[in-house]
C-alpha cells in the first residue's frame, strides 16, 4: 500500500468492511499489514519555482497510518515499517501478531494488488506468506485479505483468487467469505476467514 492511493474509494470499502467485521466478530484489535512503500511526491510549481508538497497536506489526505485516527469500536494498529525485503517484513509481521494487545482480532493483509500471480512483485503477498501468518493466528481471529482485480479482459477473477486464498490457508472453500461494494469500487474484494478450534 502506498500513500498515493490511501483515502480513495477502495479505502471506503476496505475500512467499512473491517469496522463492520470488528463489530460482528467482537474483535478486540485490528492490525493492518499494508506492505507499506513510500510514495515520492512530485513538486508543486509556484510561479516557476519548485516547492515540495507540504507534509501536513500529505498527512491529511494521503497518509496510510492516519487510519488510526478513525472513530472505531476497536483500536487500530498499522505496521509502518517499509516493505522492501520479504523475509524481514514477514518476520516483523509475525512478531507484531504475537505482540497484539488483545485477541481475538483482525489481521488485515493490504498489499497493493493482493495474492501473487504468476509474476509476483512487491505489489503482492505470496501464498506461503499468507499460510505462515494464518498459522500464527489464534482461535477466533479473522484474517482479511485485500484483492484487486487481476485482469481487464472481462473474465471472472474472483472465484480463482478466492480458491487461491482458501488453499493458502488450508481451509475449505466454503469457509472463506467475500466482502465487497461494487457501487463504490467494483475492482476490489476482500476475502476473510475466521480461525476455528
Res 189: pLDDT: 96
Q: What percent of the chain has pLDDT over 70?
A: 96
Number of domains observed in the structure of the chain: 1
Place 1 in a pLDDT band, splitting at 50, 70 and 90: low
pLDDT above 90 (res 69): no
**Angle, to 10 degrees, between the axis of helix 158-169 and the axis of helix 127-136?**
50
Q: Do residues 146 and 190 touch, judged by C-beta distance below 8 A?
A: yes
Global pTM reads: 0.91
pLDDT above 90 (res 6): no
pLDDT above 80 (res 5): no
Of 52-66, 69-83, 144-158, where does the model show the most confidence?
69-83
pLDDT above 80 (res 165): yes
Range of weakest confidence among 2-11, 23-32, 96-105, 179-188: 2-11
pLDDT above 90 (res 126): yes
Residue 46 pairs in a beta bridge with 49
- Burial of residue 130 (CB within 10 Å: 0-12, 13-18, 19+) is buried
- CATH number of the domain within which 56 lies: 3.40.50
- Give residue 67's domain range: 3-194
Angstrom distance (rounded) from CA 168 to CA 151:
21
pLDDT above 90 (res 54): no
Amino acid at each position: 500500500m502506498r500513500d498515493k492511493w490511501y483515502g480513495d474509494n477502495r479505502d471506503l470499502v476496505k475500512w467499512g468492511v473491517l469496522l463492520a467485521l470488528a463489530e460482528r466478530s467482537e474483535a478486540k484489535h485490528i492490525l493492518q499489514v499494508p506492505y507499506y512503500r513510500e510514495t515520492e511526491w512530485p513538486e508543486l510549481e509556484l510561479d516557476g519555482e519548485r516547492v515540495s508538497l507540504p507534509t501536513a497536506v500529505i498527512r491529511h489526505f494521503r497518509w496510510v497510518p492516519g487510519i488510526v485516527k478513525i472513530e472505531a469500536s476497536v483500536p487500530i494498529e498499522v505496521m509502518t515499517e517499509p516493505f522492501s525485503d520479504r523475509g524481514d517484513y514477514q518476520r516483523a509481521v509475525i512478531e507484531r501478531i504475537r505482540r497484539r494487545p488483545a485477541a481475538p482480532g483482525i489481521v488485515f493483509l493490504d498489499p497493493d494488488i493482493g495474492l501473487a500471480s504468476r509474476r509476483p512483485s512487491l505489489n503482492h503477498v505470496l501464498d506461503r506468506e499468507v499460510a505462515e501468518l494464518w498459522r500464527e493466528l489464534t482461535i477466533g481471529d479473522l484474517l482479511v485479505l485485500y484483492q484487486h482485480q487481476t485482469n481487464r479482459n472481462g473474465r471472472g477473477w474472483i472465484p480463482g483468487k478466492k480458491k487461491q486464498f482458501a488453499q493458502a490457508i488450508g481451509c475449505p472453500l466454503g469457509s472463506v467469505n467475500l466482502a465487497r461494494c461494487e457501487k463504490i469500487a467494483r475492482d476490489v474484494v476482500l476475502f476473510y476467514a475466521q480461525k476455528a478450534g
